[in-house]
Amino acid sequence: MKTSVLPECVLPILIACMTISCSSRDDSVPTPTKFPPGIIIYDPKEGSIIQGKIEINADVVYYDLQTFVSEVSAEITRDSDKAVVFEDGPYMLNQNFYSYHGTYTPTGLTGSTPMTLVITGKGSGKTATKSVKFTAKP
């Protein structure tokens, strides 16, 4: 007569789970602080055609609450000659989330002008950049 309340297959599973959870930590797996901050650009959208004022909206974030974004900047270049037509920042920070909002009104355009927005975020000794291409019209 058996007196065990647990089925026979449960004990090996429990032992395996305890062994796995008690094993040493694998330092080859990156922790969040080993990564640069994440960047999400909301506006302008990739490939958009914009006439007049250009709204710039982006988030720079660390999902690890113990790691902070230290610097954020934005730059727009004209694709034809790589001339910088807009610069903003760097903003010096010490927070794990920063919501960037800016505007740029192009001047002197004679036609459709391809441009690139680059948002740069720094933190924990790491740098991240994200870019979108769009076209500005007079």
User: Is pLDDT of 111 > 50?
Assistant: yes
pLDDT tens digit sequence for 24-79 = 444 444 444 566 778 999 999 999 999 999 999 999 987 766 677 888 999 999 99
Domains (ranges, CATH) in the chain? 32-137 (2.60.40.10)
* Share of residues in the chain with pLDDT > 70 (%): 72
**Mean pLDDT score, 94-113:** 90
Q: What is the DSSP letter of 30?
A: P
Q: What is the pTM of this model?
A: 0.72
Sign of CA dihedral 7, 9, 15, 16: negative
Backbone angles phi, psi at 35, to 5 degrees: -105, 155
